[in-house]
Amino acid sequence: MKKKIFLIVYTSLTLLLFSKEYVVDQINISGLTRTKYSTVLNIIGVNKGSVVDESIDSQIEQDLLSAGIFQKNIGVNIVNITDTTIQLNIELMERWTLIPIPVGFVSSDSWLAGGVFIESNLLGLNQTLVSGLFVNSEKISGFSAWVNPNFLDSNYSFGLSTSFNRGGIDHLDISGKDVLSSYNEERLALSISLGRDLKWNFGVLLSTGIEGFKALDPTGYLGNSGVDELFFNNSLTLSYKDLYFSNFFTDGWDINLEYKVSSSKNYLYNPSLLLKINRTFLFNDNYLLKTGINSGWQGSIDYKPIFIGGVEGSRVLPSGQVAIEKYADSLVSFEPVIYSPSWGSFTLPVYYEAGIFTSLEGVNEFWHGPGVGFRFYVDKVAIPALGADFTWDLERGLFKVAVSVGGTGGG
């Protein structure tokens, strides 16, 4: 045993001591149309005069792939100029990054219509601008966000976002049948964020912002005078992600852990914790197995519980606002391609979903049920252009039929 340990340590030290380093003398990049040369250098973190080791080519490929603005066929070649200097030749093919997405959803108990505009390579600078506007059976809402992944030519990302809601809100019990509270609300939120990609696909994100909220509740559920508050929100999110959404079928992990604290004059401390773990397995490029767990906990429910239309991503639960103190939701889905012409793909997902949670009233509920759906994906786009779902909540005997446009079908 001691001999094995010695060999491992000796081999590691040998590789460390004798790993050769080079000075980058030239960087040639081909295939750029909209993306700027300096943008590529910011993504890979290498410039003329940088000192790199022999594995720099695989690192550059991974960084460019993770940026999401280039197609998968990335070529990185190292040419030795002298014993200590090299030339990097990078061959790229840009992706189409301007995507308008019409959004629509209708089910047996709700509807939604709107649109989302996404530009993930704004002005060729690898910056993202996303805006959306939605109208549903209860309210009108919208959002806009801008993210610079290489803020001030650093390894940090910087983002600004704003969102609003306005209209009537019905808070349902978990069964989706009884209305606990019905009121009008106005909400406006502004936030800034600072993030950093760490090694081995890990990342960290800090966010702070303000949220103005005003609501009048004739039922008295929110208090005799309703709510008129200015909240200060702070959150920390840790993530691990090795997925690359060049198309809808991909393989890997997507994990997020978020801790958030909200406070105001009347609600001094309101913490929440959200955990999402999703894993996808790709078989033979045509069969996708998805597994996922989403969970949440609210430390103080004086005012701001976790309001979820069902559980986030749920296809089985009835739509509507459900006030939840804590929850856990799991999903297993098998999605095979049934027809794949050159311009897109048709899939037939079959899934089973189950969850348990505690409502604002302290009622523990368990639910579960199967579902079958239909999806159509435009070639090389990760969001389904058209979808339909038929689900059954076995615990309550509730059926739900939904048709969606632009990836709003849940799950």
Report which secondary-structure segment, H or E, holds 17. Answer: helix 2-18
Rounded Cα–Cα distance for residues 230 and 384 (Å): 37
Lowest mean pLDDT among 72-86, 173-187, 232-246, 328-342: 173-187
Q: Contact, 241 vs 203, CB < 8 A?
A: yes
- The string of pLDDT tens digits covering residues 111-154 is 888 989 989 899 999 999 999 999 987 789 999 999 998 787 67
Q: Contact, 162 vs 190, CB < 8 A?
A: yes
- The string of pLDDT tens digits covering residues 240-260 is 987 655 556 678 888 999 999
Structure pTM? 0.74
Q: Contact, 369 vs 394, CB < 8 A?
A: yes
pLDDT, residue 388, reads: 87
How far apart, in Å, are the Cα atoms of 370 and each of 205, 312, 330, 385, 396?
A: 35, 17, 12, 23, 13
| Band (320; pLDDT cuts 50, 70, 90) | low
Rg of the chain on CA atoms, in Å? 25
Report which secondary-structure segment, H or E, holds 148. Answer: strand 139-148
Rounded Cα–Cα distance for residues 215 and 222 (Å): 9
Q: Which of 257, 156, 143, 149 is nearest to 211 (CA)?
A: 143
Q: Where are the alpha helices (DSSP H) in 29-128?
A: 37-44, 56-67
Rounded Cα–Cα distance for residues 194 and 201 (Å): 17
- The string of pLDDT tens digits covering residues 365-384 is 788 899 999 999 887 666 77
Question: Measured in whole angstroms, how far is the alpha carbon of residue 391 from the centre of its chain?
Answer: 24
Q: Which of 405, 401, 403 is nearest to 377 (CA)?
A: 405
Q: Contact, 116 vs 105, CB < 8 A?
A: no
Domains of the chain: 2-91 (3.10.20.310), 98-405 (2.40.160.50)
Rounded Cα–Cα distance for residues 229 and 37 (Å): 47
Rounded Cα–Cα distance for residues 249 and 181 (Å): 41
